[in-house]
Amino acid sequence: MPSGLEQVSPPLLRVEQVRQVFAKPGGGELVVLDNIDLKLEDGEILGLLGRSGSGKSTLLRAIAGLSATTSGRVIYEGREVAGPAHGIAMVFQSFALYPWLTVQQNVQLGLEALHVPPDDVRRRALAAIDLIGLSGFEGAFPRELSGGMRQRVGFARALVVNPTILLMDEAFSALDVLTAETLRTDFLDLWAEGQLPIKGVVLVTHNIEEAVQMCDRVLVMSINPGRIISEVKIDIPQPRNRLQPAFRALVDRLYSEMTAQRTEKAAQRQEIFPGVGIGTVLPLVTIAAMTGLIEALAGAPYHGKAHLQELAAALRLENELLQVGETLQLLRFAELGGGDMKLTPLGARFAVADADERKVLFARQLVTYVPLAAHIRRILDERPNHRAPKTRFSDEIEDYMGAADAERTLRTVIAWGRYAELFVYEDADGVFVAPTP
């Protein structure tokens, strides 16, 4: 429970000047984490909020001692973490249970590694299974359990070794909405009742509501490079109610924080997505998602302008909303800012246009604001046979980004270009072809 104690006791964990850099295949460096400093106080649930690619999971793995950092240190109990440390336990998004071990064997694994006497192993495992609400399922295999129950095993396995710090890596993301909610409140109840051995939690999430519901403090991380761009204290007493005005206001504020970085960049006439020119990394956003969002924004009750969090709740798009919104901003169909999204006049025109006109509008924006799409079309026009292999472009953009990003970017540009009838892509042969007029 957070209390006045946090002022006197030293922090449980310190992260000092951590940098993580990967070499790009085409040369150059990709800065995933850039000079991260943070402290985890005694009795605190600390949230790391950021979108995929912000390096938050990399940071969590560094804290757990699972991967080495390029520079900087993680200090736990006065010592530098240089490998998996006793006292730091982790819960995984994918649960990471061993399918060949029963629930009880999974939970006992950590105790056996600590050479605890067999009788104690059994007793402590059963107690942990009971605590997390799974008694009766000791002999079950993970594949017999639902997702929520599997993650309970994940929690029991982490808690049974009496860790000081619990790390959660998107621990609730793989669960459906209701199950995730139940598991979160159950965890918060145990935490509030002081039934857990842990003294602090670091929670990684991309879900803003989850961060506001669970954390005492949230650090917002940016993408490319991954930096902590702001710190937000959540001082609403537990249990928190999502409908409280104070709760809503904090969600709103975090939405603003997460879009602030974008607006700032847009103001400097920089691109919203990482990279420049044809090296811009594009997100996998479908045409259907874009048109759907434009239509929703144009219609009642928003009439062209909406609060991001209301829109997210109404469209059930909590995670993707920002990404789709930013894509619309990139194509100048909408603008983001101050936790709001607004249609541009062009976006409003798109909303009422028929299918053919939409394609024309989209194609024009695509050629103007997505340099890679324009580049592909130009190459096709220049070549006598109007054909070019995909590898020609993937090799080119891999000079700017990793292979996975390049593949995703090309898939996106193919989907957009096909819709805009800017080019034809023949998947079987992996070649781009100029459309026949």
Under 8 Å between Cβ of 430 and 390: yes
- Give whichever of 86 and 248 is closer to other proteins, judged by the CB atom: 86
- Hey, what are 437's tokens? 């007029």
In the complex, what is the shortest distance from the CB of residue 67 to other proteins, in angstroms, rounded to a whole number? 9
101 in contact with other proteins (CB under 8 A): yes
Q: Can residue 384 be called a binding residue for other proteins (CB under 8 A)?
A: no
**Strands across the sheet containing 200-205:** 88-91, 165-169, 200-205, 45-49, 217-221, 228-233
The distance of closest approach from Cβ of residue 389 to other proteins in the complex, given in angstroms and rounded to an integer, is: 6
Give every CB contact of residue 149 below 8 A, 6+ residues apart in sequence.
134, 137
Whether the ω angle into residue 11 lies within 30 degrees of 0, i.e. cis, is no
Show the CA angle centred on residue 276, arms to residues 287 and 207, nearest 5°: 55
Strand runs (DSSP E) across 270-385, as ranges?
Answer: 305-307, 334-337, 340-343
**Residue 379 in contact with other proteins, rule: CB under 8 A:** no
Q: How far apart are CA 23 and CA 21, in angstroms?
A: 7
96 touching other proteins, by CB under 8 A: yes
Least distance (Å) from other proteins to the CB of residue 92? 5
**Choice between 200 and 325, CB closer to other proteins:** 200
Q: Minimal distance in Å, beta carbon 125 to other proteins?
A: 13
Residue 272 touching other proteins (CB under 8 A) = no
Distance CA 333, CA 344 (A): 5
Min dist. Cβ of residue 196 to other proteins (A): 17
Residues forming a β-bridge with 203: 47, 168
Of 106-114, 119-127, 258-266, 286-294, the segment contacting other proteins by CB under 8 A is 106-114
Q: Which of residues 392-431 bind other proteins (CB under 8 A)?
A: 428-431
Residue 428 CB, shortest distance to other proteins, in Å, is 6
Q: For other proteins, which residue of 94, 135, 146, 368 counts as binding (CB under 8 A)? A: 94
- For other proteins, the binding residue among 110, 225, 283, 325 (CB under 8 A) is 110
Q: How far is the CB of 406 from other proteins (least distance, A)?
A: 12
Q: Return the structure tokens found at 114.
A: 């600590």
What tokens does 39 get?
């402290």
- List binders of other proteins among 147-206 (CB under 8 A): 157, 161
Least Å from the CB of residue 168 to other proteins: 12
- At closest approach, how far in Å is the CB of 288 from other proteins? 17
Is there a contact between 154 and 95 (Cβ–Cβ < 8 Å)? yes
Footprint of other proteins on 136-155 (CB under 8 A): 143
Q: What is the DSSP string of 24-83?
A: -TTSSEEEEEEEEEEEE-TT-EEEEE--TTSSHHHHHHHHTTSS--SEEEEEETTEE--S
If binding is defined by CB under 8 A, does position 88 make contact with other proteins?
yes
Q: Sheet of 424-426: strands edge to edge?
A: 387-389, 431-433, 424-426
Candidates 22-30, 82-90, 314-322, 417-425: pick the segment binding other proteins (CB under 8 A). Answer: 82-90
The amino acid that residue 303 corresponds to is H
CA angle 394, 397, 401 (to 5 degrees): 110
Contact region with other proteins (CB under 8 A), list: 28-36, 110-118, 176-184, 248-256: 110-118
Binding of residue 269 to other proteins (CB under 8 A): no
Q: Is 71 in the site for other proteins (CB under 8 A)?
A: no
Residue type, 274: P
The reply on whether position 121 binds other proteins by CB under 8 A is no
From 107-115, 205-213, 293-301, 331-339, give the range in contact with other proteins by CB under 8 A.
Answer: 107-115
Is there binding between residue 82 and other proteins (CB under 8 A)? no
As measured in angstroms, the least distance from the Cβ of 412 to other proteins is 16
Cis peptide before 283, with omega less than 30 degrees from 0?
Answer: no
Count of residues that interact with other proteins, criterion CB under 8 A: 33
Does 122 bind other proteins (CB under 8 A)? Our answer is no
Half-sphere exposure of 187 (CA within 13 A, CB side): 29
Q: Which residues bind other proteins (CB under 8 A)?
A: 61, 64, 66, 84, 86, 88-90, 92-96, 98-101, 105, 109-110, 112-114, 143, 157, 161, 385, 389, 391, 428-431
